[in-house]
């Protein structure tokens, strides 16, 4: 599964239609949804964690490891 995450992150990072702001906004929306689940004592869907990892990897490939 790690290869799948890396492949998706590379694909997203190479997509010129997505801006750095798009990555930032998607991550903020996802983090907020995770916060709401945790705050309501609901189980956190595994797919949400997977997508957060993909988005962070794509953003990191674009901007560098400091983001």
pTM recorded for the entire structure: 0.83
Distance CA 44, CA 8 (A): 21
Instruction: Give pLDDT tens digits for 36-48.
Output: 999 999 999 999 9
Instruction: Give pLDDT tens digits for 8-65.
Output: 999 999 999 999 899 999 999 999 999 999 999 999 999 999 999 999 999 988 876 6
- CB of 11 within 8 A of CB of 63? no
Q: Structural domain boundaries of the chain?
A: 2-63
Give me the phi and psi of 17, to 5 degrees please: -75, -20
Instruction: Report the 10 Å Cβ neighbour count for 62.
Output: 17
Of the CA atoms within 13 Å of residue 8, those in its CB half-sphere come to: 12
- CB of 58 within 8 A of CB of 9? yes
């Amino acid at each position: 599964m790690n290869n799948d995450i890396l492949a998706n992150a590379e694909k997203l990072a190479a997509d010129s239609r997505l801006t750095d702001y798009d990555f930032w906004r998607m991550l903020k929306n996802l983090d907020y949804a995770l916060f709401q689940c945790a705050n309501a004592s609901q189980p956190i869907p595994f797919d949400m964690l997977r997508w957060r990892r993909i988005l962070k990897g794509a953003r990191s490939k674009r901007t560098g490891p400091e983001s």
